Amino acid sequence: MDYIKIRFISDFDQLDSKFEKTIDEMFGSISPMFALSARKWKPQMDIYETPDEILILAEIAGVNKEDLELEISSKAVKIYGNRAEFPRVENATYRLAEIQYGRFERILFLPAPIDPEVVSASYTNGFLQVRLAKLSLDKIRKIPITEG
């Protein structure tokens, strides 16, 4: 059985503390012709929440499972990796080039705290599915009150 690499870290705050965009990033999101080849792309993702868990579905067709990394903290998930470029056809004039290649990275801040010890990930037909167990916050704990 093959496994997807999952790394647990304590905090994502130092990873993505700057939310500023450069001129290249702004124009690159408007039109791919402005994008640089070294620019990271962002795969499409869905997040679902049930009473017991959070599910993440990432569309990353064409990425080898060996090129996927997954880091998890109690507050966020970082999914990153690389999609290798298909060989270009010689003497061809491209009329449309929308598929993005190279490094990708997404940091998803979770809607509820999760238990980083209860995580599973699977990769099928170009979709990565991550299942995260939510921490139960509704446990009632009686606290004894002492004198003094």
pLDDT surpasses 90 at 83: yes
CA 60/CA 62 separation, integer angstroms: 6
Kindly state whether residue 143 falls inside one of the protein's structural domains. Answer: no
The overall pTM is greater than 0.75: no
Query: Letter for the amino acid at 88?
Result: R
CA 35/CA 29 separation, integer angstroms: 8
Our count of domains for the chain comes to 1
What torsion, rounded to 10 degrees, do the Cα atoms 86, 88, 94, 99 define? 10
**More confident position, 138 or 112:** 112
Cα Rg for the chain, rounded, in angstroms?
Answer: 20
Kindly state whether residue 77 falls inside one of the protein's structural domains. Answer: yes
Quick: pLDDT tens for 15-64. Answer: 444 443 444 555 555 555 444 445 689 999 999 999 999 999 999 999 99
Kindly state whether residue 31 falls inside one of the protein's structural domains. Answer: no
**More confident position, 1 or 87:** 87
Kindly state whether residue 113 falls inside one of the protein's structural domains. Answer: yes
What torsion, rounded to 10 degrees, do the Cα atoms 17, 23, 25, 29 define? 130
Kindly state whether residue 142 falls inside one of the protein's structural domains. Answer: no
CA 83/CA 68 separation, integer angstroms: 9
Kindly state whether residue 147 falls inside one of the protein's structural domains. Answer: no
Q: Please, which pLDDT band fits residue 4 given cuts at 50, 70 and 90?
A: low
Containing domain of residue 63, as a range? 1-15+41-85+101-137
Kindly state whether residue 73 falls inside one of the protein's structural domains. Answer: yes
Mean of the pLDDT values across residues 64-91? 92
Residue 4, domain CATH:
2.60.40.790
Quick: pLDDT tens for 89-135. Answer: 889 888 888 889 999 999 999 999 998 889 999 999 999 999 999 98
